[in-house]
């Protein structure tokens, strides 16, 4: 499994509260929810590179 790179994200308190609520509703951590949202947006926009089966 690839190593995850940590980085700091500053969010508006209302935005963070909404993300935390959504994460809770989906039984995910806030970090996991934000990662899922980013992944989904990148995939839908065609900006996420497809991995080879050998990766």
Per residue in 1-55, pLDDT tens?
A: 789 999 999 999 999 999 999 999 999 999 999 999 999 999 999 999 877 545 4
Q: What's the pTM value of the predicted model, to 2 decimals?
A: 0.79
* CA dist., res. 30 & res. 48, Å (int): 22
Q: Identify the pLDDT of residue 55.
A: 44
């Amino acid at each position: 499994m690839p190593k995850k790179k940590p980085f700091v994200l500053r969010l508006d308190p209302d935005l963070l509260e909404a993300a935390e609520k959504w994460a809770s509703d989906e039984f995910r951590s806030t970090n996991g929810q934000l990662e899922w949202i980013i992944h989904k947006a990148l995939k839908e926009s065609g900006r996420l590179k497809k991995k080879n089966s050998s990766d």
